[in-house]
Amino acid sequence: MPVAIITGASKGLGRALAAALAERGWDLVLDARTESVLGDTARELAGHGGRVHAVAGDVTDAEHRGELIARARALGGLDLLVNNASALGAEPLVRLDALALEGLRRALETNVVAALGLVQQALPLLRASRAGGAVINVSSDAGAEAYETWGGYGASKAALDQLSAVLGAEEPALRVWAVDPGDMGTDLYRAAVPDDADPRPLPGTVVPAFLRLLDERPVSGRYDAPSLLVAS
């Protein structure tokens, strides 16, 4: 069966995507920092069919990233890497004039540096994938639009988009998709804007957009989930 690494998979979008792939029989390597929550998720998803390896750790830790790759190799290889774990840089979000530089560094380290680090370590396995290796880098409209207070996080997602675009050009045999999932009612969103009482879609509602990419394998590029959902 195909093998995927999904970072930030204990809850939110990562968990919803992991559940959908588990139902399709994929073997999964999942990470998140909070071991207890990740363990509960992994136990639940293991009942869906495929093998599920939970590896607690922080994606900014190179040793931890190496462990994720090692687990995938032990499962037989790697067909899909999903860089989903993300840092906001400030919780709640603040305007740029108040953004702590350490927060910006944290966002860049988590959302950009760690994502590229995992890609670099994953490339040999992805290139060898018989199904055709793919990378999904989870982006945000904050990387493309100028929303007040979303500047640090948005800058990190813009950088991730550009890494994705160049990687797609450099690795024509792979698929590299940067995907903006749209707003979702998750802990990350609540931490970003705690005063926003408007209901947001649950992460499971955008998973079909990600499955469509995997099924149809369109060219590498930047996609947004609402468009993929409308067109399907």
Residues that bind ligand NAP (CB under 6 A): 7-14, 31-34, 37, 58-60, 84-87, 110, 138, 140, 181, 183-184, 186-189, 203
Residue 98 DSSP class: G
* Nearer to ligand NAP (CB atom), residue 1 or residue 58: 58
DSSP 76: T
Report the distance separating Cα 205 and Cα 192, nearest Å: 20
CB 75 within 8 A of CB 122: no
Provide the minimum distance between the beta carbon of 220 and ligand NAP in the complex, in angstroms, as a whole number.
18
DSSP H or E stretch at residue 223: strand 221-224
C-beta closer to ligand NAP: residue 100 or 128: 100
Least separation in angstroms between residue 96's CB and ligand NAP is 18
* Residue 153 among the catalytic residues: yes
Q: Would you call 80 helix, strand, or coil by DSSP?
A: strand
Structure tokens that stand for 104 in this block: 């910006």
Helix (H, G, I), strand (E, B) or coil at 137: strand
Nearer to ligand NAP, 10 or 129 (CB): 10
Contact 228, 209 (CB under 8 A): yes
Q: How far is the CB of 106 from ligand NAP (least distance, A)?
A: 9
As measured in angstroms, the least distance from the Cβ of 152 to ligand NAP is 12
Tell me the closest approach of the beta carbon of residue 118 to ligand NAP, in angstroms. 11
Q: Which is nearer to ligand NAP, 54 or 125 (CB)?
A: 54
Q: Where are the alpha helices (DSSP H) in the chain?
A: 12-23, 35-46, 62-74, 101-108, 114-128, 151-170, 187-192, 207-216, 225-231
Helix (H) or strand (E) holding 136: strand 134-138
**Alpha-carbon gap, residue 163 to 174, rounded angstroms:** 14
CB nearer to ligand NAP: pick between 1 and 94: 94
Question: What positions carry a catalytic annotation?
Answer: 153
